[in-house]
């Protein structure tokens, strides 16, 4: 399999990132950051989720956020939804695309949406009806697709079973979510090959967290399997409030820097993106894990007299 020459990056910081922050971020700040991402050339943004505002109060303003986003550049604006009620709210607000989610493991699905896996899947038929009526495409995301923090290893056949169900329901793609950073290159290869064989019509998107420091290594494993869609979060913010030990997503600037160095196109201006990430760090008010926003791209040079000369 050859590596793709072009990759689509979906920025999920406004959803996966902001959902885990204790302090509420003002709606106007969220809108300003998303509009800066769009200026940087980010082609897709998961701007929020339409879940229960009691479960995730941080994202209760999803419709107001969408209303403030600059849509003049045709950026695809994706809403995460758990059920028919969320789908109806997202369609009413005018989201371009919906993304439903279910976990591959029963315990995480119960923690996350208070349903069994089969109950979640059954509920997606109503989501599809609402989306089809509105002409809105739906992606299906599988959380804990590389392992569950409560149950451990997740059988690849279970991931295939859920993806197959997504296809039967008429969804347009499958996202593999590494909710707590349990993916490894061999698991990425195994899961991608299984899905490419079982549901070849569904494009795969990979969603890694950098919990164990191998998020970008997993991206390279995905590229080698021909996968050309990745999700990441500005400044490396992110994590699931309903999973033990969840930490940040792979960082968008670090991902774009890697793809640039591999000669893979993203259409994103890395300098502008690093500016957005530094602004995110200011808003959050603590150091965030992103590295390229601090170091700059590889050829970001320094004047020789900035540093003293070592003398013995
Ligand atoms: N948006 C807004 N309100 C919703 C909703 C949605 N998508 N889905 C359900 N509700 C409301 C119901 O209307 C009901 O309100 P009421 O008590 O005022 O009548 C209440 O929530 C309970 O509904 P129910 O269907 O019994 O939900 P639940 O309590 O079993 O919770 C979820 C299920 C899915 C709504 C909830 O667990 C959830 O929002 N989880 C999201 C978790 C998440 O975002 N994780 C991170 C992303 S991976
Ligand atoms: Zn995530």
Which residue puts its alpha carbon closest to atom 40 of ligand 1? 113
pLDDT of residue 279: 98
d(CA 72, CA 54): 33
Q: Which of 111, 108, 141, 112 has the alpha carbon at shortest distance from 124?
A: 141
pLDDT of residue 132: 98
CA of 55 relative to ligand 1 center, distance in Å:
7
CB of residue 143 inside a 6 A radius of ligand 1: yes
CB of residue 51 inside a 6 A radius of ligand 1: yes
pLDDT of residue 208: 98
The DSSP secondary structure of 107-125, one letter per residue, reads: HHHHHHHSS-HHHHHHHHH
CA of 216 relative to ligand 1 center, distance in Å:
33
CA of 9 relative to ligand 1 center, distance in Å:
29
| Number of H-type helices and E-type strands within the chain | 11, 8
Which residue puts its alpha carbon closest to atom 42 of ligand 1? 112
pLDDT of residue 287: 94
CB of residue 82 inside a 6 A radius of ligand 1: yes
CB of residue 243 inside a 6 A radius of ligand 1: no
pLDDT of residue 37: 98
Q: Which of 272, 262, 267, 264 has the alpha carbon at shortest distance from 293?
A: 272
Contact 16, 250 (CB under 8 A): no
CB of residue 8 inside a 6 A radius of ligand 1: no
| Residue that the structure tokens 């369609």 belong to | 91
pLDDT of residue 84: 97
Low-confidence ranges of the chain (pLDDT < 70): none
Inter-axis angle of helices 106-113 and 117-134, nearest 10: 60
Contact 108, 158 (CB under 8 A): no
Computed on alpha carbons and rounded to an integer, the radius of gyration of the chain in Å comes to 19
Which residue puts its alpha carbon closest to atom 13 of ligand 1? 85
pLDDT of residue 239: 86
8, containing H or E segment: strand 8-11
Q: Which of 258, 239, 181 has the alpha carbon at shortest distance from 215?
A: 181
CB of residue 85 inside a 6 A radius of ligand 1: yes
CA of 126 relative to ligand 1 center, distance in Å:
15
Mutate to test the pocket of ligand 1, among 50, 51, 112 (most ligand atoms within 8 A of CB): 51
Which residue puts its alpha carbon closest to atom 45 of ligand 1? 112
């Amino acid at each position: 399999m050859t590596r793709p020459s072009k990759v689509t990056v979906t920025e999920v910081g406004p959803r996966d990132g902001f959902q885990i922050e204790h302090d509420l971020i003002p709606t106007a700040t969220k809108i300003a950051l998303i509009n800066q991402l769009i200026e940087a050339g980010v082609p897709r943004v998961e701007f929020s989720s339409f879940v229960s505002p009691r479960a995730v109060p941080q994202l209760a303003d999803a419709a107001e956020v969408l209303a403030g986003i600059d849509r003049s550049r045709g950026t695809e604006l994706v809403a995460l939804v758990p059920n028919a009620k969320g789908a109806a709210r997202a369609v009413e607000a005018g989201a371009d695309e919906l993304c439903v989610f279910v976990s591959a493991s029963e315990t995480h699905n119960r923690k996350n949406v208070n349903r069994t896996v089969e109950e979640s899947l059954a509920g997606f038929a109503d989501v599809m009806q609402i989306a089809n009526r509105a002409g809105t495409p739906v992606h299906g995301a599988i959380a804990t697709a590389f392992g569950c923090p409560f149950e451990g290893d997740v059988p690849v056949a279970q991931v295939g079973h859920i993806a197959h169900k997504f296809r039967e329901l008429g969804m347009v793609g499958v996202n593999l979510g590494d909710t707590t950073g349990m993916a490894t290159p061999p698991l990425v290869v195994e899961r991608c090959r299984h899905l490419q064989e079982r549901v070849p019509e569904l494009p795969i998107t990979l969603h890694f967290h950098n919990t164990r420091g191998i998020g970008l290594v997993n991206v390279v494993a995905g590229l080698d399997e021909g996968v050309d869609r990745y999700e990441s979060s500005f400044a490396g913010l992110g994590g699931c409030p309903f999973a033990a030990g969840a930490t940040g997503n792979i960082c968008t600037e670090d991902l774009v820097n890697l793809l640039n160095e591999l000669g893979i196109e993203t259409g994103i201006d890395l300098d502008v993106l690093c500016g957005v990430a530094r602004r995110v760090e200011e808003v959050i008010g603590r150091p965030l894990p992103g590295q390229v926003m601090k170091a700059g791209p590889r050829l970001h040079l320094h004047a020789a007299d900035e540093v003293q000369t070592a003398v013995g």
